Structure 1
Amino acid sequence: MSVSAPETVDVVCLGESMVTFLPTSSGRLADVPSFERGIGGAESNVACALAAAGHRTRWLSRVGTDGFGDHLVEAVAAYGVDTSAVQRDRLRPTGIYFRTAGERATGDGDRATPGTATAVTPEGEAVAEVVYYRAGSAASAMSPRVVPDRDLWSGRILHLSGITAALSDDCLALLGEATRRRPGRPLVSFDVNYRVNLWDERRSVAAEPAVLLDLARGADLVFVGEDEAEAAWSIRGANAIRAALPEPGVVVVKQGGAGATVFTDDGPSVFVAALAVDIAAPVGAGDAFAAGFLSATLRGLPVRRRIRHGHLMAAAALTVAGDLAVPPPRAVADRLAALDDEAWGRLRLGPGWTEAAAVGADREVCTP
């Protein structure tokens, strides 16, 4: 019996999502008395942000048949994401994690006990804890055998993340197949998303962060932070990163609070400074940046505008407490992305700016 191909969407996002438990008060996890439930996952974050921005998206993953799996699928679908291809696993649970405020680090600061990450400031002060319960999860059983090409190739863009490659040997094999250059595949977007603690838990010969470089070389569009490239590959600086990744047509090097540099095959590199933002929580900004850049890519905007849309989506995420934020209305984002460099540099965005922009108050919340 033949299976019909799924309807083509703008972006297909493949990867694990987990139920997150966010503290109701500040302090160490050992001292937090209660938590609020949410969802988190790099690829589903991108899918949700793109759907909220008006694009058709599909999320591919596996979850357990437990209540947490029900919640994940329902919550992602509520953003307008197609979840029809999400598989349910009767034998493996849905992953969950607990965290304090803040984001996971990529460097030595998150080397801790298995399943645990502790982000630190440059001075060594701990600012966040993340405890994962994802070993043996349903998503870790994703493989080329259970995720068919007809699903992977059902979008104009296939968005992947290095987090998936770190989950298991089967997941790494799936990412290897997804990034293998073959006729007819969609544009492949790959966010390196290096997580030290995940790779430290993997002890197989193949489980080395260097494989992320091979996966990135198979993609058409790569997102990578300067800190990630140094931590994973000992490569320093945007130009050196591009030299190590000559194959992708577009390489986006994220440079923290400074901004981002984009290299393309058909022109000189382009740098755009990051926006001044009053940060509520530095969680999900990288995923939001990728969503903004991909949205502008789908619309065929020039490279400089693509970077600015990435910065604007990141600013939306940075000014809310959770992983996901309401994106700015497209008309507002287009107006801001079209500002001259001086006006762009004067922008300062704070909590609530996207909601205010949605009711026509963008000038008041988007300028100092």
Structure 2
Amino acid sequence: MTGTVTGTGTVTAPEVLTFGETMLALRGSGPLRLGGSMEVSVAGAESNVAIGLARLGHAVRWAGAVGEDEAGELVLRTLRAEGVDVSGASRDDGGAPTGLMIAEPRLPEVTRVHYHRAGSAGSRLKACSLERAFTAAPPKVLHLTGITPALSRSARSACTLALRLAAEHSALVCLDVNFRSRLWSSEEAAEVLRGWAPSVDVLIASDDELPLCLPAETPADPALRAKELLALGVGEVVVKLGAAGATAYTDDGRTVHAPARAVRAVDTVGAGDAFVAGYLSAFLDGSTAEARLDRAVTTGAFAVASRGDWEGAPTRAELGLLSAPAGTVVR
């Protein structure tokens, strides 16, 4: 069973609603087998996006589930502190714990991530909890990832309901494919995501994730794949290309590219979530496709240049810092 989080104040309509699993995050100082110190934080793709949007000045609601434990309390406390509305979140009172993620740095630009999330509270998110979070004050945008439906049948049902509610309330749908092979196979993912594609307004994916949203035997060229998705009803396709930047394909036939911002890479974990937050932020601002991509690669660069999943996410006032000359002191 789950219980709704209470005592969070009046529920107001958010610009964005997102939901998924947020875990306790332990970040090691070196190889895990050698011991050493650990930094304690929280992490989850959807909450990373929520924090990134909140720092940019947007009203965001997160509606995941956590355990009745101290780790769950840390998740909720952190999100509240970052300005994210957790009025739609729930606490699992059936004994399921908050999930755990351990990040193990192995090389300057390589981090191994270990998950302990089987049977977690986050995987037991119920459709009824999501419905309460959605209908209490319907959002302008529903943000989904391909992670949540892979967690369990109940979480997948919550996603299906969320898509139906978005259609009923005329909310735009943003999908970050975010395929995780540890959670489900590409065949399982494709079966779900191909059914979702016609309901998606903004689809964000790396070039190798695009086939998961298309019928079998798709062309190898990302541009042709994007055009097929647009023909299926997707409103806009954004392809993340890593160090090569990103390209957006719009329903009016335009193709827009933005190169990656040059920064010293510190930690690439969370960069994709930061990219999504930047893109959605500019989308909500009514910006052009060029401006949307520019903000996305900028917020992604902030993440790459900082340790942690979300800690380096910029505020709106900080977006211009990457353009400052080297050695600049901001007073």
Counterpart position of 2:105: 101
8 Å CA contact 2:305, 2:312 repeated in 1: no
Q: Which residue of 1 aligns with 2:3?
A: none
Instruction: Give the stretch that moved more between structures: 208-217 or 297-306.
Output: 208-217
Deviations 1:148-180 (A, max 9, x none): 165266221111111001001111122222234
Unaligned 5+ segments in structure 2 are: 1-9
Pick from 206, 209, 218 the counterpart of residue 228 of structure 1. Answer: 209
Aligned residue number for residue 188 of structure 1:
173
Instruction: Give the C-alpha shift of residue 61 in structure 1.
Output: 0.6
Q: 1:10 to 1:49 in 2, by over 3 A?
A: same
> Residue 55 of structure 1: which of 49, 54, 58 is its match?
58
Shift of 1:223: 0.6
Q: Secondary structure at the match of 2:182?
A: helix
- Cα 1:214/1:149, change in 2 over 3 Å: farther
Q: CA deviation at 1:244?
A: 3.7
- C-alpha contact 1:17 1:72 (8 A) present in aligned 2: yes
**Structure 2: distance between partners of 1:128 and 1:32:** 16
> Equivalent pairs: percent with the same residue?
35
Answer with 237-246 or 191-200: which moved more: 237-246
Q: Secondary structure at the match of 1:277?
A: coil
Partner deviation per Cα, 1:181-223 (whole Å, 9 max, x = no partner): 73323111110000011115x9xxx944432232233211111
- Quote how far apart the aligned CAs of 1:232 are: 8.2
Which structure is richer in relative contact order (CA contacts within 8 A, separation 6 or more)? 2
* Whole-angstrom CA distance in 2 between matches of 1:193 and 1:64: 24
Secondary structure of 1:314's match?
Answer: helix
Q: Secondary structure at the match of 1:198?
A: coil
Q: How does 1:88-127 map to 2 (within 5 A)?
A: 88-91=91-94, 92-101=96-105, 127=110
The 1-side partners of 2:26 and 2:315 are apart by 29
Structure 2 partner of 1:67: 70
The alignment of Structure 1 onto Structure 2 pairs a total of residues equal to 310
Corresponding position of 1:165: 149
Instruction: Please report the TM-score for the alignment, with normalisation by the length of structure 1.
Output: 0.77
Residues 316, 325 of structure 1: 8 Å contact kept = no
2:112 corresponding residue in structure 1: 129
Matched ranges for 1:281-292 at <5 A: 281-292=267-278
TM-score after normalising by structure 2 = 0.85
Match of 1:22 among 18, 27, 40: 27
Among 236, 243, 247, the residue aligned to 2:227: 243
Describe the superposition over 1:75-130 as per-residue Cα deviations: whole angstroms up to 9, x where unpaired: 11111111111100111111111121379xxxxxxxxxxxxxxxxx9xxxxx4322
User: How much has 1:332 moved relative to structure 2?
Assistant: 5.6
Amino acid at match of 2:61: R
SS of equivalent to 1:16: coil
| 2:193 pairs with 1:212 | yes
